[in-house]
Amino acid sequence: MAKLKITQTGSPIRRSPDQRKTLVGLGLNKMHRTVELDDTPEVRGMIRKVQHMVNVEG
């Protein structure tokens, strides 16, 4: 399965609680942290919700 490399570039400060929980669900909780996740529809939906705070490399 393809992998996505996701890096947090924005701060969750002053964001809604559901956006904060989405970042934690992706495995991100600090600035400039990077995780590799499988490319699934669920992960894509989470990325779409916080797209203004992450960078994604395919």
DSSP H stretches of helix in the chain: 17-26, 41-49
Whether the CB-CB separation of 53 and 19 falls below 8 Å is answered with yes
Return the CATH number of the domain spanning residue range 3-57.
3.30.1390.20
Mean pLDDT within 35-53: 98
Residue 16 CA to residue 40 CA, distance in Å, equals 24
What are the extents of the domains in the chain? 3-57
Threshold 0.85, pTM exceeds: yes
Q: What does the pLDDT read at residue 58? A: 87
